Chain A
Amino acid sequence: MLGFNDYLLVSVILFFVGALGVLFRRNLIYILMSLELMLNSINLTLIGLAKYSNDTNPQVLILLILVVAAVEVAVGLGLAINLMRVKKTVDVDLFKSLKG
């Protein structure tokens, strides 16, 4: 019998896979994609919550989280383009000029 806990389990695992990607990769584009993984796995919890409490509100939250995710990607890609123009790389570990 499929229950809410299954949704929760899968979503926690996917969330931390995304977090792993953020910590682990050095390319800004990969970090952006990992952030998207994190936000989407949160949506999985919400849809489980909606389904098992017969509630419309989590679905609204999912829609608004989609907005946030879209904004994050758009801004991040704009940043990547700017970084490429200014510093000729999007490798975040190579940014070390600010060290006092």
Chain B
Amino acid sequence: MKTVFYINALFSLIFALGVIFGKNPLRSALSLLLFFLTIALDFFFAGSEYLGFVQIIVYAGGIIVMIAFVIILLGLKKESPDYDITVRSFTGIILLGFFALGVLYGLAKSVLHLIPKAPYFDTSAAGIGDALFSKYLLPFEVASILLLVGVVLAFIFAKKEV
């Protein structure tokens, strides 16, 4: 199980690097799609079929198509000097590296003791729905407001006239 997980993680990493170092925007978008699929596989491994499929539906069916659509619409092609390393970005990257090491170190030094909350792991849609509409009712409502804001915002920015 561990090997399978890490092989999958390796693929995630490869696709993630493919996204951030890619030269062709469209290829990067596809790499991102494959990355999302590996994450969906992780959800399947953990036993949560529901989340895995939702992940594929939302990302593959919606988000990546949207990104690809905009890439074609804007006519973005290969841009050879798309990234260059200036002094500022270099220091940023070094700081980020130290930050990452710090986070890993901090997490490794502490004892994270997980206590099982239930006798078994409930991955059914019914279980998730119960939690969503009882304990997480208010976040759910706020998320709906957030979606509405997002829709109106995207509409306002993307439409032609003022």
Contacts and interface: CB of A to CB of B under 8 A. Distances in A.
Interface of A: 1-2, 4-10, 12-14, 16-21, 23-27, 29-30, 32-34, 36-37, 40-41, 43-44, 47-57, 59-64, 66-75, 77-82, 84-85, 90
Given A12-B100, A30-B20, A54-B117, A37 B32 contact: yes
B155 A53 contact: no
Contact of A60 (B97, B132, B150, B160): B132
Contacts of A72: 150
Contacts of B116: 52-54
A19 B96 contact: yes
B114 to A, nearest CB: 5
Interface of B: 1-2, 5-6, 9, 12-13, 16-17, 19-20, 22, 25, 28-29, 32, 35-36, 39, 42-43, 46-48, 50-51, 54-55, 58, 62-63, 66-67, 70-71, 73-74, 76, 79, 82-83, 89, 92-93, 96-97, 99-100, 103-104, 107, 112, 114-123, 127-128, 130-132, 135-136, 139-140, 143, 146-147, 149-151, 153-158, 160
A23 B89 contact: yes
A50 B48 contact: yes
Contact of B67 (A9, A32, A40, A78): A32
A43 to B, nearest CB: 7
Contacts, number: 217
A59 B20 contact: no
A35 B139 CA distance: 22
Closest 9 CB pairs of A and B: A21-B20, A71-B150, A78-B157, A78-B154, A16-B100, A78-B158, A74-B154, A54-B118, A51-B46
A60 B137 CA distance: 11
Contacts of B140: 64
Which of B70, B117, B160: most chain A CB closer than 10 A?
B70
B70 to A, nearest CB: 5
